[in-house]
Amino acid sequence: MTEYIATRWYRSPECLLTDGHYGPEMDIWGAGCVLFEIIALFPLFPGADEVDQVNRIHKVVGTPPDDIISKLRSKGSTKINYKFGNMKGIGIKHFIPHATTDCVNLLNKTMIYDHTERIAASDAIEHPYFFDFRQKDKTLRSKPNKLSLRKNARVEEDKAPSTNTKKQSKNKIEKASETDNSGRESKRMVRARPQKQTEGKIDNLKVRLRRW
């Protein structure tokens, strides 16, 4: 993978000193550079080219031990001369004297030269520097917002039957009972009619027999 995956100012040493090494540790280095820039309001390593970029890193964090240089040289870049002079580094604190101890500690852990020793993202989130942010996030999550209250109110309205629905169901029951009662009465009337007609025919027959 090419080293141009990231802007030069935010590239980690393993990206600059090898032919396309890339991993999550490189992202941690870049995130540390961005966090520094937010706090200091200027970039930490504004290199003009790859060589200048490496020199600027060494001026701040110092040159790495020989074993780390050997490890990087095994995947080395042809653009870099690995004969670095011994340099201690002035440290990140020099540029941000106003920053808290936790802030400087986190930045130092994100910019450890050996990428295998660099802080992981999961550990960075749990760093004391972010304690106040985590507490604030928990407080906001525990408080119900207006949107959630509206949703809950709508759910309760959907669950509870409305007054109009109750009235409609009551009217349906009353109409059904009225229909049932009227049906029974009509059946009784139909049954009563044949009996009256039969009685009338018998009376007429009796009258005729008497006359005869």
CATH number at residue 49: 1.10.510.10
Q: State the pLDDT confidence band at 23, using cuts at 50, 70 and 90.
A: confident
The conformation of residue 127, written as its DSSP 8-state character, comes to: S
Does 91 share its domain with 134?
yes
pLDDT at 9 over 80: yes
Q: Give the containing element (helix H, strand E) for 38.
A: helix 24-40
Does 131 share its domain with 155?
no
CB atoms within 10 A of CB 32: 24
51-66 average pLDDT score: 91
> If you count them, how many residues does the chain have?
212
pLDDT at 5: 52
Distance of CA 48 to the CA centre of its chain: 39
pLDDT at 139: 76
Q: State the pLDDT confidence band at 96, using cuts at 50, 70 and 90.
A: very high
pLDDT at 80: 66
pLDDT digits (tens, 9 = 90+) for 145-184: 666 656 666 666 666 555 555 566 666 666 655 555 555 5
pLDDT at 123: 94
Does 66 share its domain with 112?
yes
Distance in angstroms (rounded) separating the CA atoms of residues 28 and 22:
11
Does 104 share its domain with 157?
no
Q: State the pLDDT confidence band at 201, using cuts at 50, 70 and 90.
A: low
61-75 average pLDDT score: 83
Does 61 share its domain with 35?
yes
Distance in angstroms (rounded) separating the CA atoms of residues 21 and 4:
11
pLDDT at 50 over 80: yes
Does 110 share its domain with 85?
yes
Residue 188: phi and psi, rounded to 5, are -65, -40
Does 103 share its domain with 28?
yes
pLDDT at 190: 46
Handedness of CA 78, 79, 81, 86 (dihedral sign): negative
Does 137 share its domain with 121?
yes
Poorest-confidence range of 39-48, 88-97, 143-152? Answer: 143-152
Question: Who wins on pLDDT, 3 or 119?
Answer: 119
pLDDT at 1: 40
pLDDT at 118: 95
Are the C-beta atoms of 80 and 17 separated by less than 8 Å?
Answer: yes
Q: Give the containing element (helix H, strand E) for 192.
A: helix 163-211
Distance in angstroms (rounded) separating the CA atoms of residues 196 and 212:
25
Distance in angstroms (rounded) separating the CA atoms of residues 208 and 212:
6
Which range marks the domain in which residue 156 is found? Answer: 147-211
Does 122 share its domain with 34?
yes
Beta bridge partners of 76: 18
pLDDT at 65: 87
Of 42-51, 132-141, 144-153, 172-181, which has the strongest mean pLDDT? 42-51
Does 134 share its domain with 80?
yes
Distance in angstroms (rounded) separating the CA atoms of residues 200 and 212:
19
Does 119 share its domain with 155?
no
pTM, two decimal places: 0.62
Number of domains in the chain: 2
Does 126 share its domain with 153?
no
pLDDT at 135 over 60: yes
Question: Who wins on pLDDT, 10 or 189?
Answer: 10
